[in-house]
Amino acid sequence: MQSYSYNFLNSPTSLTVMALSLLLWGIVFAVIFLVTVAVVLRIWVRSRAKSLLPHLKEGDKDVLVVGFFHPYCNAGGGGERVLWCAVRALQEKYKHVKCLVYTGDKNVKGAEIVKNARQRFNIVLRQQPEFVFLGRRDWVEAGTWPYFTLLGQSLGSIWLGWEALTKYVPDVYLDSMGYAFTLPMFKYLGGCRVGCYVHYPTISTDMLSRVTDQTATYNNRAIIARSPILSAVKIAYYRAFAFIYGLAGSCCDVVMVNSSWTHGHIVSIWGTREGTYKVYPPCDVKEFMDLPMKSDAGKAQHSIVSVAQFRPEKDHPLQLRGFHEFLKGVPQEKRKNYKLVMIGGVRNQGDADRVDGLKRLAEKLEISQYTEFRLNVPFSELKQSLSEATIGLHTMWNEHFGIGVVECMAAGTIILAHESGGPKMDIVVEHNGSCTGFLAHDEKTYADAIRTILSMSPEERMEVRRNGRESSSRFSDQEFQTSFLNASEALFK
């Protein structure tokens, strides 16, 4: 009789079972290890960081410390107005709340930062917040990451956030600049309740669509747009980044966004429809609404004023081309009756070079004599220019909100904005069933809209100006304060 022997270890099925078992045990041990590390880090971080600023609590367990992560809190832009209005709102409503700000403005004292906020925004705080000065802010700057900028800045924000976390652990953490990758760190290692105010999603489905369509733009280089292979690689990179970005954002307890456009993208990527609130940013509408609004009947010259920093995404070349297209239909002897005034901030040499390029484009289009550039103008001059303007011009595609658009409307100009993003969805909308402004999307539609506005009677233009001004009151400091406190209430209970 023939005998057969069977080696269990040589069985393919048994080897597969063993491999799966080893893999499963490996995953279990890895999870245990990571959880242990996280617990140890959490204990170490909280015991170390709490001891660095003990006076914030002063032995009162009922005090709630709210930390705002805003590395550029002294910059003086719209994001900083949101920050200081939020701090003021919390100080006015909650007596048990103390605020601190994590900032990279390490060469400026806290008292000077508060003074600058008061001078720039007319925001007076009940008490000076604590400032935690960070030394690694250059890690979140675009210039540090010439390639794979999104990934680099996000990794840099984790490093900067770690510095903040190890200097002080607040009870409530609020990211007010859009550094979503700091949220899980403060929630799971710091044990904080976390919230955020999103001005602009780090990545959006619109960015993905432009790469997919191989459209060259300021954040999609022509060499990539022309190559199907490079575009496919970039799409894969963007999709992977969007997935991780969504995981980071999904851990947030309260999400506040500045517009309907931002709301749509954040809900899509983060999956946080519940607990996501639209809180329009505070605009300084009162200063502009106080300007007198007179009829432009008999006006010798109509000015079209653009107000925007000279950044690439603002698309100033479209303003020049649209104005040129409009002037083509105006008799030569009457062109002197129209002027395009481009007002904006110049932050660095890159912005200065961009202005020089715009001046060369104006010369090429033969409209230099009808175009004026005003750089870094004081607020008083900005108000004066808007009070004299007939049209306020805006050309950025998918502007997340559009504070400049609101300011133009509050000043009494007839706004002509890009037909996308916040201006289309939230700002240039009907007010009490009446027109508040105009929208366009390319040089022809901009030229047509300018022509339509200037062909209206002074009475018709006055009606649109009034509607726009009344509509802009929806974006006041008081409206922001009410919406912010209602949205964030769950964090402070």
Residue 256 and residue 380 in one domain? no
- pLDDT category at 35 given cuts 50, 70, 90 is low
Do 115 and 247 have their domain in common?
Answer: yes
Q: Is residue 145 part of a domain?
A: yes
- The DSSP-derived string for 226-243 is T-HHHHHHHHHHHHHHHH
Are 320 and 358 contained in the same domain?
yes
Mean pLDDT computed over 10-29: 64
CATH number of the domain within which 292 lies: 3.40.50.2000
The residue segments making up the domain with residue 255 are 57-282+479-492
Maximum CA extent, the chain: 120
- 156 and 199 inside one domain: yes
Rounded to the nearest angstrom, the gap between the alpha carbon of residue 178 and the centroid of all alpha carbons in its chain is 7
Assigned token pair, 427: 């700002």
How far from 23 is each of 11, 16, 32, 267, CA to CA, in Å?
Answer: 18, 10, 14, 35
pLDDT at 51 over 60: no
Q: Give the span between the Cα atoms of 101 and 140, in whole angstroms.
A: 17
Residues 234 and 351 in one domain: no
Number of H helices, E strands in the chain: 18, 13
Q: How confident is the model at residue 300 (pLDDT cuts 50, 70, 90)?
A: confident
Higher-confidence residue: 411 or 10?
411
Per residue in 369-407, pLDDT (tens digit) is 999 999 988 888 888 999 999 999 999 988 889 888 999
Report which of 144, 152, 154, 204 is spatially closest to residue 182, judged by C-alpha positions.
154
User: Same domain, yes or no, for 95 and 203?
Assistant: yes
254 & 107 share domain: yes
Looking at residue 62, its pLDDT comes to 79
pLDDT-derived band at 412, boundaries 50, 70, 90: very high
Q: State the pLDDT confidence band at 44, using cuts at 50, 70 and 90.
A: low
Say if residue 291 is in the same domain as residue 186.
no
C-alpha R_g of the chain: 27
Torsions phi, psi for 173 (to 5 deg): -115, 130
Instruction: Tell me if residue 417 falls in helix, strand or coil.
Output: strand
Residue 334 DSSP class: G
Number of domains in the chain: 2
* 38 in a structural domain: no
Whether 184 and 243 map to the same domain: the answer is: yes
Tokens of 52: 């660095």
Domain presence at residue 4: no
Same domain, 215 and 316: no
Length of the chain: 493
Residue 2 maps to a domain: no
Structure confidence at residue 1 as a pLDDT band (50, 70, 90): very low
pTM listed for this prediction: 0.80
Residue 369 lies in a domain: yes
Asked if residue 448 belongs to a domain, the reply is yes
Residue 471: predicted pLDDT: 95
| Confidence grade of residue 8 (pLDDT, cut at 50, 70, 90) | very low
| 42 domain-assigned | no
The pLDDT of 167-175, averaged and rounded, is 93
Residues 228 and 348 in one domain: no
Encoding tokens for residue 279? 């809180």
Answer yes or no: do 380 and 488 share one domain. Answer: no
The residue that leads in pLDDT, 229 or 225, is 229
